[in-house]
Amino acid sequence: MSIFVGGRARFGSTDGGRIPKKSEGVRTFTRHDLRAAIYNCCPTLSRAEARKIFDETFDELSDALVRGEAVKLRNFGTFNLRAKRQRTGRNPKTGVEAVISARRVVTFRPSPVLLTRMNQEAADCLPD
């Protein structure tokens, strides 16, 4: 469920911002939720136009990562591509060694603004 407060979308329940426990079934924010937020904040857009804007934006972000470029989103964070070498791993259950192939992985580093906001909201949820 999304709640719009002061022009900003707040996702989750209406329980005062309390952080739910994992056992309470934390809801995942999905592409559908983001598309709906774009549609709701721009009343002049049709759903098809909001979907096209969303899809084009994420296609550009994905293409930049495939090209090996960093993606920096102000006040949100930076997505980087990191190359990992081939290595030998071990199955923790059986102890059998296996070769883990070389690959590229995406890493995310949140901005200081996002970290401050997350920690501030988390502190607001703690009992006094």
Q: Model-level pTM? A: 0.66
Q: Are residues 40 and 86 in the same domain?
A: no
Lowest-pLDDT choice from 16-25, 62-71, 106-115, 117-126: 16-25
Tell which of 47, 69, 91 closes a domain: 69
Is residue 3 scored above 60 in pLDDT? no
pLDDT per position as a tens digit, 20-51:
555 566 788 899 998 888 888 988 989 899 89
Work out the angle at residue 96's Cα, subtended by the Cα atoms of residues 91 and 97, and round it to the nearest 5 degrees. 85
Which band of pLDDT confidence, cut at 50, 70 and 90, is reported for residue 12?
Answer: very low
Q: Could you tell me which of 77, 82, 78 has the C-alpha nearest to residue 106? A: 82
Give the domain extent around 76. Answer: 70-128
Lowest-confidence region among 1-10, 24-33, 41-50, 92-101: 1-10
Tell me what pLDDT residue 120 has: 86
**Same domain as 119, residue 65:** no
Whether residue 102 is found in the same domain as residue 64 = no
Give the per-residue pLDDT at 121.
74
Rounded CA separation 80/35 (Å):
24
Residue 53 class from Cβ within 10 Å (0-12 exposed, 13-18 middle, 19+ buried)? middle
Task: Note whether 42 and 85 are same-domain residues.
Answer: no
Pair (53, 97) in one structural domain = no
Residues 62 and 24 in one domain: yes
Q: Verify that 78 and 88 share a domain, yes or no.
A: yes
Q: Say if residue 77 is in the same domain as residue 57.
A: no
Q: What digits encode the pLDDT tens for the residues 48-85?
A: 998 999 999 999 999 999 999 999 999 999 999 999 99
State the pLDDT at residue 128: 60
Q: How many domains is the chain partitioned into structurally? A: 2
Residues 30 and 8 occupy one common structural domain? yes
Do residue 2 and residue 31 come from a single domain? yes
Q: Cα(39)–Cα(32) distance, rounded to whole angstroms?
A: 10
What pLDDT is attached to residue 7? Answer: 42
Q: Report the residue count for the chain.
A: 128
